[in-house]
Structure 1
Amino acid sequence: MSEPQLEFAAAPSLNEPPEWLRLNGVMVIVTPLKEIVRAAIPLVAVFFAGGGVHGWGQWLSLAGVAALIARGVTHWATARYRITDDQVELRSGLFNRKTRAVPRDRIRTVDITSEWQHRLFGLSALKIGTGRQDKSKDDELILDAITKTEAERLRTVLLTKTSTAPSVVDSVPAAETELVRVDRRWTWYAPFTLSGIAVVAAAFGAVWHFANDLHIRPDDITILHDGLELVGTESPWVLIPAAIVVLLLVATIASVLGYILSYWNFSVAREPSGTLHIRHGLLNTRSVSIEEARLRGVEVKETLPLRFVHGGRATAVVSGLRTGRGDERGGGLLLPAAPVAEAHLVAAKVLREPVDPTTASLTSHPRAALRRRLTRAVVSVLALALLAWIGYQLDILPFWVWIVFLVLTPFSAWLGHDRYRSLGHTLTHGYLVSRSGSLVRETIALRSDGVIGWRVHASYFQRRAGLVTLVATTAAGRGGYHVTDAGTSQALAFADEVVPDLVAQFLEPAT
């Protein structure tokens, strides 16, 4: 008698990828709302341009709103995402199906942003980046929108490089160590950052652009028309100071409001996993995570007005996180405008150093650098004064223009001297430290093991003065940091000291 045959079901695969997940359904409201707010001015312009109760403008505006709503619904209906052991994937699109994947070992930044539209419904947008600086967004993936709890958990999962699937129940997060929290009294430093002037200029440009598009002239608005007539009757000696006062007042209000909106509750904390967690924002909140293993240094920036009130701000130099000049709201910001002593303190804490390397004594540059800066500052202003005087003689410019440039000559000379006093460099405790600038004085402390190469260049006038500019290249921050107008032998010796044997092979041996 034969033995009965037993049948066993096939064992399930242990490596099956997780299921595809939907974004939060509320995004069918959030996405159209965001798009409608951004397109508000063009929609209003089209609405009123149609004219009449049954004008074409009204129908086009309604069609535009309907298209934005349909876009949001379509994106939610087609978008799916999943996180595997190897990559993060997102696919979307109805007619043009698109799948985007970011390898987990290439993830450099995980940012969480919550605009006011998100916060109405308790949602966030999770932005995953690889640190690439080209204009392509192929290596950038955004999950918009997911719940705040899910966003925080995914941030931890992606930064710790674990294989935890999105369906796993959250664990209790480990306690953070807070390094700094912005004191709300520091808001008074905001007017000294020059950001308000930039905001006013940008707002003026935007209004001027839309006014031209709508064929609106200042004379068409009664208040502006009366104001222009009043201005035309005033002397320039009264008009110019009044205009400066108004500009400073508006810029001050704009800078304070911008500071509050951007840096409300700003804090930097260190997580036990070795990650710096930066949070800030009032209406639109942002959460940025930086792995300390990718930290290459810090930079302390002081605008000229901030220096008068002993203020400054600190920025992290991070591998895979590029920042441009003036990128005050960049992901690497460690401290907005605050007392400069606090900027140095948070920089030291972030670097795990007893004192901030940027406070070290610097080696001064040759006197030729002083002559170069004075010449460039004074001659440029005198040249402008000469051109303005010629314009006055030709009845192109008013008389007072070239007088203004002459009055600015002593200030430009002081500015040139101040730029020289700011120059300096040194090597301290394994950090390359360099300082330059006057209107914006920048002091960089870069880890010497983060320097991957050198560039030495000199213009014609620099060569005649025996000066060069030494650039330390690095895969972090701006990609290159300058030691400006140093002596040729001084710069080469410094480069060899920072990275031994890298430059020496290209130097001629001393005889």
Structure 2
Amino acid sequence: MTTTPDPAGDDGDPGHLHGAGSIAASSTATVTDAAADALLPTDGERRLHPLSWLFVLLSQVGQMLVPLVAIALFGASRDDGARLGIVAVALVALLIGAVWRYLTFRYRIGSDSVFVRSGLFERSLRQIPFSRIHDVALHQTLLHRLFGVAEVRLESAGGSKPEARMQVLTLAEALALEQVVRRRASATDAVEAHAQDATAPADQSRTLLALSIGEVIRLGLVSNRGMVVVAGAVALLMQALPDNMAGDLLTRVAREAFGRVSVLGDAWQGQLMAATLLLVLALFALRLLSVVLALVQYHGFRLVEDGRRLGVERGLLTRLRNSVPRRRIQAWTLQEGLLHRLLRRRSLQVDTAVVSRGQDQRSLSELAPIAPAAECDALVRHLLDAGDWPPTQWRPLHRHAWLRLLTPGLVFSLLLAAGLTWWLGAWGLSGLLWLPWAVLAATQHARRAGYAIDDRLLAVREGWWSRHWRFAEIDKLQALRLRRTPFDRCTGMASLWLDTAGAGAMAPSLRIRFLPLADARALLDRLTREVARRPLRW
């Protein structure tokens, strides 16, 4: 893992990320504290960039593209001119709204807050204290780079949308705003900052992790981004095309593809080889698509430590840049799938106390999309100041925990056998062959699952085929629950569920399942006392 000082610290700009294709590299001047204050004075309101209406219009058209195309091609009216007229009216309305937003939007930098004013007939004045801003996200597409502008989002820990979305500012103003927010938020939070963060250098940034092209290709190989895109495209076709046109189109494509590979023979052996070859080609195409998407999304990935903040910059065509205070990290997740293990890699993700909007790529959640296991562990030790990570002593689950872990596999095996028996008769009982695999997976999972706790950190590990480690500082725990199902009561087990702020919908739950009842109650009492006597740290 690279921990050398970033050259950006040498020219007085700790937040200025240099490098080919980076957001900051497209700026011709370094944004120092003095330059930031000069660009964003506190004595007056400022407009957005004069072309901001264009980017708002393009964003709105992008969101309405599918319904507009559907109206133009498959509208209820048989008159092509009428359908195009409806589309034209919709585009004019969007244009008026975009220009209206530019004319009525103002912002001002105060001594301790950012003020945003919008609207004319229904006016809104929003005050956003610097101490409430947890994440500053900069976004640049190719069009943004062409005009030298960037979109800025100020994120907080509450609400269902950003505190402010400035679409768009000149790149110099965007970098200056990021610098001002970082500096003044750090000054406001200095008293509340964690002791580790309070002693971190504030005048130097350094790169903690940089992904090479080879690592990004590995990320594409272990991810399922290609499958997600294909599934989304199929769903879009099913919605956009009328009647059964999408189904017929997909059927014709499948028949054509199978027909081309069925030259291997007409017997069942040839048909089986053709189906196998087609499946292999499809998997290869999906992995290739995943690699391409990974290169587009994670090219030039850099994780940078800047005093008490962490920053991430990535993207080939669209550059995304985020920064968040380290103490806003609420929980951590290390993940390792089968392909990760084959490549000797892991991924490190975090939950932050910042508003969550599903799969919004602008949120800072991935500290290491892919990296060797040793580098992931070193990142955790450095950022958490946890010298004993990973824990050497893991406490086991209940000795019969494998029976509870076997339940889903047992149910699936029975349902599979029942369905196959209804279709194939007695041969359907072969579905029960899934049961030995389910028993093996459950026993192996129970054997390696466990938890570790010390005065500061609680960690849980689960999984066998696909593994993950979930951990959080005890100070960040918000709610504790002891849960027991009827089966748990019969076997003397209990599970602890622990809540933190900012948990993502796709992140594994922070839980300790299938403990002996006495151990679960003792752990619950200990955590309750620890949480009650410590202040909650966001």
CA distance in 1, matches of 2:242, 2:485: 43
Alignment of 1:155-304 (within 5 A): 155-161=178-184, 174-186=203-215, 187-212=217-242, 216-219=245-248, 224=253, 227=256, 230=259, 237=272, 241-242=276-277, 244-272=279-307, 274-304=308-338
- Quickly say closer, same or farther: Cα 1:56–1:41, change in 2 above 3 A: same
Percent identity among equivalent residues?
23
CA distance in 2, matches of 1:438, 1:270: 33
Greater shift, 341-350 or 407-416, is seen at 407-416
1:59 corresponds in structure 2 to 85
- Quickly say closer, same or farther: Cα 1:492–1:337, change in 2 above 3 A: same
- Quickly say closer, same or farther: Cα 1:466–1:212, change in 2 above 3 A: farther
* AA partner of residue 207 (structure 1): L
- Quickly say closer, same or farther: Cα 1:226–1:501, change in 2 above 3 A: closer
* AA partner of residue 406 (structure 2): L
Quote the offset at 1:277 in angstroms: 1.3
Is 1:366 the equivalent of 2:398?
yes
Is 1:30 the equivalent of 2:30?
no
Is 1:491 the equivalent of 2:520?
yes
* AA partner of residue 176 (structure 2): R
Pairwise CA RMSD of aligned residues?
Answer: 3.6
* AA partner of residue 145 (structure 1): V
Deviations 1:121-147 (A, max 9, x none): 121111112212x5x43x621111112
Alignment of 1:416-427 (within 5 A): 416-427=442-453
- CA contact 1:317–1:476 (8 Å) conserved in 2: yes
Quote the offset at 1:94 in angstroms: 4.8
Alignment of 1:129-140 (within 5 A): 129-132=155-158, 136-137=160-161, 140=163
Quote the offset at 1:453 in angstroms: 4.0
Secondary structure in structure 2 of the residue aligned to 1:367: coil
- Quickly say closer, same or farther: Cα 1:266–1:163, change in 2 above 3 A: closer
Quote the offset at 1:237 in angstroms: 4.5
Deviations 1:432-485 (A, max 9, x none): 111123464221231122234421111111222221111223335459621121
CA distance in 1, matches of 2:230, 2:430: 23
* AA partner of residue 36 (structure 1): V
* AA partner of residue 179 (structure 2): T
Is 1:333 the equivalent of 2:358?
no
Quote the offset at 1:252 in angstroms: 0.6
Secondary structure in structure 2 of the residue aligned to 1:255: helix
- Quickly say closer, same or farther: Cα 1:315–1:162, change in 2 above 3 A: closer
1:154 corresponds in structure 2 to 177
CA distance in 2, matches of 1:234, 1:101: 74
* AA partner of residue 411 (structure 1): W
TM-score, normalised relative to structure 1: 0.80
Which of 380, 384, 389 aligns to 2:421? It is 389
Greater shift, 155-164 or 99-108, is seen at 155-164
CA distance in 1, matches of 2:361, 2:47: 35
2:471 corresponds in structure 1 to 445
CA distance in 2, matches of 1:220, 1:130: 45
- CA contact 1:85–1:163 (8 Å) conserved in 2: no
- Quickly say closer, same or farther: Cα 1:258–1:457, change in 2 above 3 A: same
CA distance in 2, matches of 1:64, 1:323: 27
Greater shift, 201-210 or 30-39, is seen at 30-39
Is 1:143 the equivalent of 2:141?
no
Secondary structure in structure 2 of the residue aligned to 1:161: helix
Greater shift, 426-435 or 413-422, is seen at 413-422
2:510 corresponds in structure 1 to 481
Is 1:21 the equivalent of 2:50?
no
Secondary structure in structure 2 of the residue aligned to 1:314: strand
Determine which structure has greater relative contact order: mean sequence separation of CA pairs < 8 Å that are 6+ residues apart, divided by chain length.
2
CA distance in 1, matches of 2:454, 2:319: 37
Question: Which protein has the bigger helix share?
Answer: 2
* AA partner of residue 59 (structure 2): K
2:349 corresponds in structure 1 to 315
Quote the offset at 1:369 in angstroms: 0.5
- CA contact 2:312–2:323 (8 Å) conserved in 1: yes
CA distance in 1, matches of 2:517, 2:398: 10
- CA contact 2:105–2:118 (8 Å) conserved in 1: yes
- Quickly say closer, same or farther: Cα 1:492–1:503, change in 2 above 3 A: farther
Is 1:46 the equivalent of 2:76?
no
- CA contact 2:238–2:246 (8 Å) conserved in 1: no
Secondary structure in structure 2 of the residue aligned to 1:64: helix
1:507 corresponds in structure 2 to none
- CA contact 1:365–1:486 (8 Å) conserved in 2: yes
1:378 corresponds in structure 2 to 410
- CA contact 1:302–1:440 (8 Å) conserved in 2: yes
CA distance in 1, matches of 2:95, 2:104: 14
